[in-house]
Chains A and B, each alone.
Chain A
Amino acid sequence: NAGVTQTPKFQVLKTGQSMTLQCAQDMNHEYMSWYRQDPGMGLRLIHYSVGAGITDQGEVPNGYNVSRSTTEDFPLRLLSAAPSQTSVYFCASSDWSSSYNEQFFGPGTRLTVL
């Protein structure tokens, strides 16, 4: 199993550009989530999904969209990038056997918005 994979690993955008961060998992996990990590602030939940076709907002959802058309994929879209979205983004997944608690994280995408 590859686990949780994220692409790209690094990305530089200009203010106002749009892009999609990709996340995929091959563990058949129902639950997937996106976090952003900023210095001194830990990880903050952006959006999450408990299954295909179901998404919900986390702590910091503004400026981001998600969709979950398949169990495996959970892309994160930035419609109009802003410098405040410069961060490291992590995707994670888990399954119901651990009540979604034990989340497996991908390697992250480091995004810089100029």
Chain B
Amino acid sequence: GQQLNQSPQSMFIQEGEDVSMNCTSSSIFNTWLWYKQDPGEGPVLLIALYKAGELTSNGRLTAQFGITRKDSFLNISASIPSDVGIYFCAGFTGTASKLTFGTGTRLQVTL
């Protein structure tokens, strides 16, 4: 099946630093989504991207839909302690009505 590779697998950063993570696929997706999961909770949608090249922001978060439609990027500016969690990318082909998730990037923020 389709696979989404996320990198890095984990990050340890200091409060106030900027964060970048990405997601790549061997297949083309029509939609890219970014979710955040807090410990013991379900994933929460952060940003949805619907067009190749699209750049979308949600507060301190900015995500981009890659031009090739095989990748996506998420940036977090000026990180704060509540940014701690696991960030998942997900791709949607539309035709099969199925979301494919990446393996996640675990973010730790130190004071």
Residues of A that sit less than 8 Å from B by CB: 4, 31, 33, 35, 40-45, 48, 50, 56, 58-59, 90, 92, 98-108
Contacts and interface: CB of A to CB of B under 8 A. Distances in A.
Contacts of A4: 42
Interface of B: 1, 4, 31, 33, 35, 40-45, 48, 50, 88, 92, 94, 97-104
Contacts of B102: 42
Given A42-B88, A108-B41, A108-B42, A103 B48 contact: no
B103 A103 contact: no
B44 A59 contact: no
Nearest to B91: A101
A48 B97 contact: yes
A48 B97 CA distance: 9
